[in-house]
Amino acid sequence: MKTVVILLTVLAGWFTAGKNTPAEGYQVGDVVADFSLTNVDGNKVSLADYKDAKGYIVVFTCNTCPVSVAYEDRINALDKKYKPLGYPVIAINPNDPGTAPAESLDHMKKRAQEKGFTFPYLEDPDHIITKRYAASRTPHTFILQKTSQGNVLRYIGAIDDNTNEDAASSFFVQNAIAALESGAKPDPDFTKAVGCTIKWKKGS
């Protein structure tokens, strides 16, 4: 009997551990590596393409998650406001189009056109960059600051504190950039929010 119990326990642990255990990704303060991902216009985009940037607002977002959709206008507004100040938005779709067909590059193109995205909207085949950042939901925002050491991660979390735009009262991303602009570090530098899970490639 005891063996059965142990076996079940081990089996249960194995079953659950194998499924989407969040990997250790970049932490606030880490220097991040550049990437080269395909945009909806077919061109590759890297952080280094933005010679004059002081930093970046990297947003993992997608076509179908209702929380992401609720934030689309706000992400556009962030880009319009902060790109001229040196902090462009770079959106990355972390979802696998095999698992979630509505997340394919074609659907991304359509969505970007419909919503008039002013920022690149990149695909991330095999979740390489998603895993590096340990993005775990959509939308999930990472603010980078360009320094002499490289691009340093300064903020991880939500754009603001409410999916319903009219009810939002703490504007985390805007406050974080204001802090960076004044030579300070964002506070908070880590927030949580309800969002959609990443649609991982089967077997990944």
Partner 1 sequence: MKGLLLAYIVLLFWAFPGIKVQDSKVSTIKLEQLEHRLAQGGDTTFVVNFWATWCAPCVAELPYFEQFNDVYGQVSDGTSPAKVLLVSLDAPKLLSRVNDFIEARKLRNEVLLLDESNQQYYIDQISTEWSGAIPATLFVNTKKGIRLFKEQEFDFETLEANYLSIINK
Mutual orientation of helices 66-82 and 105-115 as an angle, nearest 10°?
A: 60
CA atoms of 158 and 171, how far apart (whole Å): 9
Residue 11 engages partner 1 in binding (rule: CB under 8 A): yes
The residue whose two tokens read 């074609």 is: 106
Q: Which is nearer to partner 1, 53 or 62 (CB)?
A: 62
Q: How far is the CB of 120 from partner 1 (least distance, A)?
A: 24
3-state secondary structure 91-115: EEECCCCCCCHHHCHHHHHHHHHHH
Q: Strands 55-60 and 44-45: what pairing?
A: unpaired
**Which residues from 122-151 bind partner 1, rule CB under 8 A?**
136-137, 140
Options 28-36, 52-60, 120-128, 158-166: segment touching partner 1 (CB under 8 A): 158-166
Q: Is 33 near partner 1 (CB under 8 A)?
A: no
**Residue selected from 36, 43, 197, 204 as contacting partner 1 according to rule CB under 8 A:** 197
Task: Considering the complex, state which of residue 111 and residue 120 has its C-beta at the smaller distance from partner 1.
Answer: 111
Give the residue with the Cβ less far from partner 1, 88 or 97.
97
Select from 44, 80, 81, 192 the one that contacts partner 1 (CB under 8 A). 192
Interaction between residue 8 and partner 1 (CB under 8 A): yes
CA distances from 147 to 59, 111, 152 (A): 20, 33, 7
Determine the interface stretch with partner 1 among 3-11, 104-112, 121-129, 143-151 (rule: CB under 8 A): 3-11
Asked if residues 108 and 119 have their Cβ atoms less than 8 Å apart, the reply is: no
42 or 194: whose CB is closer to partner 1? 194
User: Applying CB under 8 A, which of residues 3, 42, 194, 203 lies at the interface with partner 1?
Assistant: 194
Report helix, strand or coil for 82: helix
CA-wise closest residue to 140 among 22, 38, 41: 22
Nearest CA to 174 out of 130, 161, 26, 150 is that of 161
With H, G, I as helix, E, B as strand and everything else as coil, classify residue 152.
strand
Interface ranges with partner 1 (CB under 8 A): 5, 8-9, 11-13, 15-16, 19-20, 22, 64, 66-67, 136-137, 140, 158, 161-164, 167, 188, 191-198
